[in-house]
Amino acid sequence: MIVFEKPHALTDTVLHYCPGCTHGIVHRLVAEAIDELGIEGKTVGIAPVGCSVLAYNYFNCDMIEAAHGRAPAVATGVKRALPDNIVFAYQGDGDLASIGMCETVSTAARGENITVIFINNAIYGMTGGQMAPTSLIGQVTQTSPYGRDPKTQGYPIRVCELLATLDAPQYLERVTVNNVKNVRNAKRAIKKAFQNQIDGKGFSFIEVLSACPTNWGMTPQKALQWIDEAMIPQYPLGVFRDKEA
Partner 1 sequence: MSETVLMKGNEAIAEAAILAGCRHYFGYPITPQTEVAAYMAKKMPKIGGTFLQAESEIAAINMVYGVASTGHPAMTSSSSPGISLKAEGISYLAGADLPALIINVQRGGPGLGGIQPSQSDYFLATRGPGHGDFHVLVFAPSSVQEMADLTGRALHLAWKYRMPAMLLADGTMGQMMEPVNLPEPSNAFGDDNPWAATGTEMKRPHNIITSLDLSPENLEKQNFERFERYKKIEESECLWEEYMMDDAEICIVACGITARVSRNAIVEARKQGIKVGMLRPITLWPFPKKALAAAADKVNAFLCVEMNMGQMKEDVELAIRCKKPVELCSRVGGMIPTPDEVLEHIRQIAEGGNKA
Binding site for partner 1 (CB under 8 A): 11, 40-44, 46-47, 53-54, 56-57, 59-67, 70, 73-82, 85, 102-103, 105-106
Contact (CB, 8 A) for 63 and 44: yes
Give the nearer residue to partner 1 in terms of CB position, either 41 or 154. 41
Give the nearer residue to partner 1 in terms of CB position, either 65 or 161. 65
Q: How far is the CB of 165 from partner 1 (least distance, A)?
A: 16
Q: How far is the CB of 85 from partner 1 (least distance, A)?
A: 5
Q: How far is the CB of 91 from partner 1 (least distance, A)?
A: 13
Q: How far is the CB of 178 from partner 1 (least distance, A)?
A: 30
What's CA 16's distance to the chain center, in Å?
17
Q: How far is the CB of 94 from partner 1 (least distance, A)?
A: 16
Contact (CB, 8 A) for 142 and 129: yes
Contact (CB, 8 A) for 66 and 47: yes
Give the nearer residue to partner 1 in terms of CB position, either 60 or 120. 60
Contact (CB, 8 A) for 13 and 58: yes
Contacts (Cβ under 8 Å, ≥6 apart) of 79? 85, 87, 112, 113, 114
Bridge partners of residue 167, in order along the sequence: none
Contact (CB, 8 A) for 201 and 113: yes
Give the nearer residue to partner 1 in terms of CB position, either 83 or 236. 83
Give the nearer residue to partner 1 in terms of CB position, either 102 or 150. 102
Q: State the burial class of residue 41 (Cβ atoms within 10 Å of its Cβ: 0-12, 13-18, 19+).
A: exposed
